[in-house]
Structure formats: C-alpha cells, structure tokens
C-alpha cells in the first residue's frame, strides 16, 4: 500500500480520538491528506527583542530569558497563573487564564526559554497573555525564521489541537515519510524551470529555513497543481473530441455573404477576421467546437457571434444565444434583429417574462424549425424548450452560468451543439488556458476604428471622495455613470455592500434636482426595468 494512503491515526501523537477530529473538521484521513494540508501563512520569528525595548502597540515579539518565579492569583473565573520572566534588560509578566495546572507543572524555574506572544500594557507595565514557550536545552537554540500557521477550527482549538499542534504532528509525519516521497516531474522539466525537487518543496513548505526556500517551494507546488490540472483538462478536451461528434458546417452560404457584403457598413478588424477564421476551422470538422471568445466591451464579439449564427443558418441549422440577464437578452435581440432586417432569418426572444401563450407558439415554431435564431436567458435551458436541429449555442458572459446549466443545452439534440462562450473579463492567455483548459481560446485584442480602449482602475474605499468628484465631473460633461453592486439587499451571510444601501448613499451624494439616480435590478418587473433604462 502507498504510504500516503496510511490512516492518520497510525501517526505518533495522533491516535483514534484526534484522527476522528481531523477527519470531521478538516477532512484529513490519511498521511497524504495531512502532508498536503499546507500552511496558509507564516509568522516571522527571526528577531529576538529585549524587554527594555518594548513599546506600546507592538506586534508579536520573541524574547529569550528565564522564568524566575510562579504565582497563582484570584479565584474561579479570575484565577490566573503569573510567571515572572527575566532577560538581561528587565522583567515582564507572563499570564495564563486557561490550562494553568498543566502549565505550572511543565514550567521549570531558572531554565532558559524562548517566549513568543503579543505584549499588552496594563497597570503601568507590560505583560504577555498565553505566550508560546520553547525550552532551550544546554544553551543551544535553533531559532526558526518562519513559523507555519495552519487552518484549524473552533472545535479543534477547544480540544487543544491548535495550529502549533498541527505543526508538531506534521514534523513527525515528515520524519517518517519524506525520504519515500516520489518525484512526479521529469528531470528535464525540473532543470528547465529551475524547480526544487518534490521532496525539498514539501519539506520547505512546512519547515521553511529561509524565505528564499519557502518561495521556491511555493513555486514548485503551485506549478504541480496547475500542470496536472492542465493535463487533466487537456485529456477531457481530447476525449470530448473523440467521443462527441459534431455538426459539420461546410457551406459559407448566400445569407452570410449577402450580409457581409451588403449590410455591413464597416470592415471587420484584423482580430475579428482572425477569430472568425479560427471558428470556421472548428465548424468544418465533424467534432463539437468548444471555444472561448474573449474581448473588451466594444471589441465586436457580438458581431462575430452573429456571423457564426449565419454560418449555422446557411447550413440549415438552428442557433441560440443565452445571456445572463433579461436586459442584456433584449439588447441582443434588438441589435441582431436590426442587423438582419434585410435577411430572411426568423429570430425570437424567450425570457422569464414571456407569457404562457407566447411560449406555446414559440415552442411549436422551434420544433418545426420555423425559428432560426433564439435569444434568451436561463429560460432557454428549460426542459420544455426543444429544437428541431440546434447546432450552435452561444453563451454571453459565460462565467455567470454553471457547468450544469451549459450542459443542459448539450442535451437538446442527438449530437451536442457547437459551443461558443464569450467574456469581456480580461484574462491573460496563459491564465485562460489554465482556467479553461477544456476550451480553445480566441482573443479579440483590437478595437474597431474610433473606439477608445477601456481603462480599468482599482481604487480603495479611502479614495471615495476622489471618486465622487470624478463622477460629478463626468456627469457635468453630459456622460452617464453605472454603479454595480454585488447584492440587491443586505445579506446575513455575505459582508458586501448592497444595492439598497448603496442607492441611499448615492442619493445623498447626488441630490435632486441637479442629479438623477435610478435603480435597475433583476427582481423588477420588465416594464419598470425598461422605463428606468430609457430615462
């Protein structure tokens, strides 16, 4: 049996009770689970302070000295153990309110200790409450530069199983298994990327002897995660291409050509042409296309999507475009309908607001093939929505939809339709390949002539007044401002500012009659949303 599969209760210092706690609280059942339970931060313990140099509001500090006396004070809840700790420059009190009996029995007077904790100032003098303590044997001490801090839970802490306890059992684990850790990368990759061995990385992530080695360990372990995620996703992609047959679009027909030559009043950018060519190559194959189309707002993604739907139409197939909100779906419907007004293409809109009567007619037309392009929201994935020959699905703002939602559209036909998912979120190519390794990636990295590039800035709440002034300047120039909030109403679970609170704040900053502030959100009636959008 692989040693990493060994149940954690066999490790010295764990036992059945702790093992059960680790399983329930942190999902740690085996040596491997424990080994890959990495610290989430580190405490710098490279410096030893002297008592005489302490000042108010200091962070955590480390002292070296002797405990010269012990005294218990108070009764019941106020009972505490006070140790007088002395170094060469002064004396400070160490105070414990819990576990006093065990601590008293463990402390050895006049032995040398390393003390770590946060100093507080009370009644004119410093003290440290519940410090960490390490005894120094024979005057020799190895001072750790970085102490790992592990995720724990309230129950584990209440049972005396703290981050420090976790560190101790991981040290035991490393002493047992580190020499048996196998390398999983080739020597060529390790040499080319100047990576430490897997054994070194796992040792230094838990027991870093320097910041340099910690950074190297983190780099190696992050690389491993991304590398094997990439392999897994590429394997999925290859299997999909083998397993899922797709619809071939061999024809670039009359409707596409007529629209391209007669109805487009401008030339496509080179980036749009390149992306369209990449899509065309996918559509010619009898395998399902899975492609991510990334481009800034105004880069022309919707036009590329429209041209792709015309290719499907010329090959006698249906298409659908799914948007995350009703407002966006209506905008797409109006834009595409207007662009195709000279072409004999039947376009329909399906949202949550579509009446039962309209839905019934629409469902019949879809099954009969009378609707060529369907645009809508989540309503498209309802079981009642069936197509005659759906061969192309386009999803706008794809991160707003889950995998299960997208997969529902796959099952509308015998063969899974071609998938084109669009996003305006700027993602570096290398990161997009990691996040969307199961997708081919096309990027529109060029804006049409006359379009200004989008500038993205990050500002903290401390710049609030500056931002308000900037917004007023833009409004006075005749421009509009959109403010987006993550929640409509206050949430007990999420600590985010909500729309209602934000609206009240904005109304105070932008009062009538000089300014007009409107609200639009997903819970409003369609007529109300339309009214607000037109204001």
pLDDT one-digit tens code per residue, 404-432: 555 666 666 667 889 898 988 766 554 55
Name the pairing type of β-strands 80-86 and 119-122.
unpaired
Cα-based distances in Å from 434 to 219, 229, 440, 494: 16, 8, 11, 28
Q: Give 498's DSSP letter.
A: B
- The closest alpha carbon to 270, from 449, 433, 455, belongs to 449
H-helix segments, 78-210: 100-106, 154-158, 163-177, 187-192, 198-206
Its pTM stands at 0.59
What is the overall mean pLDDT for the chain? 85
What lies within 8 Å, CB to CB, of 156 at 6+ separation is: 21, 22, 25, 26, 162
- 3-state secondary structure at position 5: helix
Q: Which residues pair with 505 in a beta bridge?
A: none
Q: How many CB atoms lie within 10 A of CB 157?
A: 12
Sequence-separated contacts (24+) of 121-124 with Cβ below 8 Å: 121/56
Residues 222/195, Cβ–Cβ less than 8 Å: no
- The closest alpha carbon to 33, from 147, 144, 150, belongs to 150
What lies within 8 Å, CB to CB, of 421 at 6+ separation is: 291, 292, 293, 394, 395, 398, 406, 439
Name the pairing type of β-strands 347-350 and 373-376.
parallel
Which pLDDT does position 362 carry in this prediction? 92
| pLDDT tens profile 180-235 | 989 999 999 999 999 999 999 999 999 998 889 999 999 999 999 988 888 887 78
Which pLDDT does position 410 carry in this prediction? 61
- 3-state secondary structure at position 245: strand
Which segments in the chain show pLDDT lower than 70? Answer: 1, 77, 138-144, 240-241, 243-244, 398-414, 426-438, 490-496
| pLDDT tens profile 385-401 | 889 999 999 998 765 55
CATH of domain 59-142: 2.40.50.140
Q: Give a three-class secondary structure readout of 269-297.
A: CHHHHHHHHHHHHHHHCCECCEEEEEECC
CATH of domain 254-444: 3.40.50.300
Residues 312/420, Cβ–Cβ less than 8 Å: no
| pLDDT tens profile 98-142 | 878 888 888 888 888 888 888 988 888 889 998 888 888 765 555
Torsion, CA 128, CA 134, CA 137, CA 142, rounded to 10: -110
Which pLDDT does position 190 carry in this prediction? 95
- The closest alpha carbon to 459, from 451, 474, 469, belongs to 469
Phi, psi of 284 (to 5 degrees): -75, -25
């Amino acid at each position: 049996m692989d040693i990493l599969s060994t149940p954690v209760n066999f490790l010295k210092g764990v036992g059945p009770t702790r093992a059960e706690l680790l399983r329930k609280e942190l999902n740690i059942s085996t040596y491997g689970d424990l080994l890959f339970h990495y610290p989430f931060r580190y405490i710098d313990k490279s410096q030893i302070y002297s008592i005489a140099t302490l000042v108010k509001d200091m962070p955590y500090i480390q002292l070296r000295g002797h405990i010269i006396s012990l005294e218990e004070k108070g009764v019941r809840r106020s009972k505490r153990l006070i140790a007088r700790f002395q170094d060469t420059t002064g004396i400070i009190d160490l105070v414990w309110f819990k576990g006093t009996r065990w601590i008293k029995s463990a402390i050895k007077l006049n032995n040398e200790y390393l003390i770590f904790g946060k100093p507080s100032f009370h009644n004119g003098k410093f003290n440290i409450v519940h410090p960490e303590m390490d005894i120094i044997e024979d005057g020799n001490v190895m001072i750790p530069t970085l102490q790992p801090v592990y995720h724990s839970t309230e129950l584990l802490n209440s049972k005396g199983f703290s981050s420090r306890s976790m560190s101790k059992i991981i040290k035991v684990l490393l002493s047992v298994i580190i020499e048996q850790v196998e390398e999983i990368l080739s020597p060529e990759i390790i040499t080319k990327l100047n990576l430490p061995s897997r054994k070194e990385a796992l040792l230094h992530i838990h027991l870093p002897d320097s910041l340099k080695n910690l950074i190297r360990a983190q780099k190696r372990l992050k690389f491993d995660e991304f590398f094997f995620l990439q392999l897994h996703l590429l394997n999925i992609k290859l299997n999909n291409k083998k397993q899922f047959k797709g619809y071939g679009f061999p024809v670039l027909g009359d409707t596409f050509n007529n629209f391209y030559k007669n109805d487009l009043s401008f030339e496509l950018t080179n980036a749009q042409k390149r992306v369209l060519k990449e899509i065309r190559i996918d559509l010619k194959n009898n395998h399902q296309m899975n492609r991510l189309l990334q481009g800034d707002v105004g880069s022309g993604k919707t036009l590329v999507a429209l041209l792709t739907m015309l290719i499907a139409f010329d090959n006698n197939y249906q298409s659908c475009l799914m948007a995350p909100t009703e407002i966006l779906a209506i905008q797409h419907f109006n834009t595409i309908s207007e662009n195709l007004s000279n072409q004999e293409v039947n376009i329909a809109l399906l949202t949550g607001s579509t009446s039962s009567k309209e839905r019934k007619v629409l469902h019949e037309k879809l099954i009969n093939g009378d609707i060529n392009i369907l645009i809508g929201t989540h309503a498209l994935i309802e079981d009642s929505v069936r197509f005659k020959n759906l061969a192309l699905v386009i999803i706008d703002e794809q991160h707003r939809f889950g995998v299960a939602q997208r997969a529902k559209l796959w099952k509308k036909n015998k063969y899974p339709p071609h998938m084109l998912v669009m996003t305006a979120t700027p993602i570096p190519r290398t990161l997009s390949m990691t996040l969307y390794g199961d997708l081919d990636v096309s990027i529109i990295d060029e804006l049409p002539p006359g379009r200004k590039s989008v500038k993205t800035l990050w500002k903290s709440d401390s710049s609030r007044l500056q931002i308000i002034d900037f917004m007023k300047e833009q409004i006075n120039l005749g421009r509009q401002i959109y403010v987006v909030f993550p929640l409509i109403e206050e949430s007990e679970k999420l600590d985010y500012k909500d729309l209602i609170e934000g609206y009240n704040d904005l109304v105070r900053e932008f009062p009538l009659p000089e300014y007009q502030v409107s609200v639009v959100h997903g819970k409003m009636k369609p007529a109300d949303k339309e009214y607000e959008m037109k204001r």
